[in-house]
């Protein structure tokens, strides 16, 4: 790290001596090495020296996106394109940012423009295929992905993306073939295994799911995602909660597309929690709210106007980057929610938890920790997936999709034992799963006694 620091210091001291090109190469090396803060310093100094340089504008825009400030990143890249309208790499990367942040309709526009300007820019065909697939134009997506494969027949990711498109039109056998082809080209790829097992799950071929996971675990026996899904499919050694590693890996990989995906799933949980908070009459002049499992801040953005201070906690650093970019939280903390709440005594007026307890089976410690972090008469508002009493002899169940559901009886007993009184508990549709509604519970509880 000292070499990088020295390089930045050298730039500061010799701005007139170092060439602009060399300085830009330094910034790009720092950028590629994921030394984002140092790269930012150099890019900003370069922009002071040459604010119209389209290459600097482009790469600085990419950096800001990678730092979690995607909207700002888009504006910098647009400035580059204003100066050089046929800047192909910039237009393609603009499309990539739109795609990753849940705006496939804008991504499509950028990708089509790239094709118009440079039809031999081969990577854009696969990119456009992905965007069209996200937009629901699955057959057209398949056409472009097949073109991408014609251009790059050895690129495994094109086969995976084609598999995704086939899966969306329920041509599951074709999807399986594409995922297997991807694995032939790039053996032991975790994304391909995950998608292949998921497709067999959709097909109802659980034994094939298990076989895929066995193969995955044979080369990576400690892979948190493979272990968790294997437990879900086999019910062998099912954990009492998802491991921190599984949660972190799942949401780090999901962060860039999280908001867009949930929009397509008609995700209602954050709105249900906001409604529940409104009904307890929050005091925006004094209340402090802790948003545990805050993710990208979907719920935080909705409840921000109703409280004085908003703090978010999440295990996933990538999700926190997205939450930070919303600029709505007073503080964001990377931590496991149970451990964090256990260490904070009577600090918050309300705790919200949106679609996070579905990664816990046994909720005892988490609920007691929440009670510890709440003031007396503080509110605890959360969602979880509903397990009908008649469907299970147990309090909770790890389902095939990898999430837990809980019975109402278990939840009521748990809250009472932790010192809560249930103010309201209602059933609601949280989102869709495999085109079907996911039944959940929205719970509002008040802490009645000191823990």
Is residue 374 over pLDDT 90?
A: yes
Residue 418: name the closest of 334, 336, 332, 351 by CA.
351
Euclidean distance between CA atoms 92 and 33, whole angstroms: 22
Query: Which residues is 427 bridged to in the sheet?
Result: 441
Burial class, 285, CB count within 10 angstroms (exposed 0-12 / middle 13-18 / buried 19+) = exposed
Report the sign of the C-alpha dihedral through residues 154, 157, 159, 162, in that order: negative
Is residue 332 over pLDDT 60?
A: yes
Rg (CA), the chain: 24
Cβ atoms within 10 Å of 213's Cβ, excluding its own: 26
Tens-digit pLDDT profile for residues 231-270: 999 988 889 999 999 999 888 876 565 655 656 656 788 9
Task: Identify the pLDDT of residue 263.
Answer: 61
Euclidean distance between CA atoms 77 and 62, whole angstroms: 8
CA count, 13 A, side-chain hemisphere, 136: 3
b/e sequence 219-236, b meaning 16+ C-beta within 10 Å: eeeebbbbbbbbbbbeee
Please, what is the average pLDDT of the chain? 91
By residue count, the chain amounts to 451
The answer to whether the pTM exceeds 0.75 is: yes
At 68, the pLDDT band (50, 70, 90 cuts) reads confident
Two tokens at 302?
């909705």
Output helix, strand, coil percentages for the chain, rounded to the nearest 5.
60, 15, 25
Any residues with CB less than 8 A from the CB of 284 and at least 6 apart, and which?
305, 306, 307, 308
Measured CA angle at 138 (ends 135, 141), to 5 deg: 90
Instruction: Lowest mean pLDDT of 11-15, 172-176, 296-300, 414-418, name the range.
Output: 11-15
* 374-386 vs 396-398, strand pairing mode: unpaired
CA distances from 406 to 99, 428, 441 (A): 35, 14, 9
Residue 380: name the closest of 348, 406, 358, 410 by CA.
348
Find out whether 200 and 176 touch, Cβ atoms under 8 Å.
yes
Find out whether 418 and 347 touch, Cβ atoms under 8 Å.
no
pLDDT above 90 covers a percentage of the chain that reads: 76
Is residue 163 over pLDDT 70?
A: yes
Three-state DSSP at 429 gives strand
Task: Identify the pLDDT of residue 56.
Answer: 97
Three-state DSSP at 97 gives helix
Q: Which domains does the chain have, with CATH numbers?
A: 2-243 (1.25.40.10), 252-447 (3.40.50.150)
Find out whether 359 and 247 touch, Cβ atoms under 8 Å.
yes
Two tokens at 86?
């046929």
């Amino acid at each position: 790290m000292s070499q990088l620091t020295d390089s930045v210091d050298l730039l500061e001291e010799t701005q007139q001596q170092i060439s602009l090109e060399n300085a830009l190469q330094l910034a790009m090396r720092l950028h590629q090495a994921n030394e984002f803060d140092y790269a930012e310093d150099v890019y900003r100094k370069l922009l002071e020296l040459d604010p119209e340089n389209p290459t600097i504008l482009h790469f600085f825009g990419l950096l800001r996106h990678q730092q979690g400030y995607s909207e700002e990143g888009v504006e910098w890249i647009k400035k580059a394109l204003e100066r050089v309208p046929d800047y192909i790499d910039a237009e393609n990367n603009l499309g990539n940012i739109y795609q990753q942040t849940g705006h496939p309709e804008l991504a499509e526009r950028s990708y089509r423009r790239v094709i118009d300007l440079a039809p031999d820019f081969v990577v854009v065909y696969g990119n456009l295929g992905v965007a069209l697939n996200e937009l629901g134009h699955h057959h057209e997506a398949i056409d472009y992905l097949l073109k991408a494969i014609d251009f790059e027949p050895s690129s495994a990711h094109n086969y995976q993306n084609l598999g995704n498109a086939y899966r969306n039109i329920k041509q599951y056998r074709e999807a399986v073939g594409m995922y297997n082809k991807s694995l032939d080209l790039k053996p032991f790829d975790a994304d391909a295994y995950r998608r292949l097992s998921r497709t067999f799950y959709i097909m109802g071929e659980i034994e094939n799911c298990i076989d895929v996971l066995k193969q995955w675990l044979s080369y990576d026996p400690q892979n948190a995602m493979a272990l968790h899904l294997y437990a879900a499919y086999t019910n062998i050694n099912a954990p009492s909660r998802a491991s921190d590693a599984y949660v972190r890996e799942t949401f780090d990989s999901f962060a860039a597309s999280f908001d867009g995906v949930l929009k397509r799933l008609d995700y209602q949980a954050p709105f249900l929690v906001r409604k529940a908070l409104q009904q307890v009459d929050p005091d925006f002049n004094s209340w402090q709210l802790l948003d545990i499992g805050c993710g990208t801040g979907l719920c935080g953005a909705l409840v921000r106007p109703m409280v004085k201070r908003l703090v978010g906690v999440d295990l996933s650093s990538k999700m926190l980057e997205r939450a930070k970019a919303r600029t709505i939280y007073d503080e964001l903390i990377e931590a496991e929610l149970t451990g964090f709440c256990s260490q904070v005594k009577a600090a918050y007026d309300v705790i919200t938890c949106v679609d996070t307890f579905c990664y816990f089976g046994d909720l005892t410690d988490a609920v007691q920790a929440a009670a510890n972090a709440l003031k007396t008469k503080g509110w605890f508002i959360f969602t979880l997936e509903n397990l009908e009493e008649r469907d299970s002899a147990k309090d909770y169940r790890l389902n095939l999709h990898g999430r837990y559901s809980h019975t109402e009886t278990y939840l009521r007993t748990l809250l009472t034992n932790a010192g809560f009184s249930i103010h309201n508990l209602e059933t609601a549709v949280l989102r869709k799963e495999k085109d079907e509604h996911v039944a959940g519970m929205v719970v509002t509880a008040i802490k009645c006694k000191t823990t």
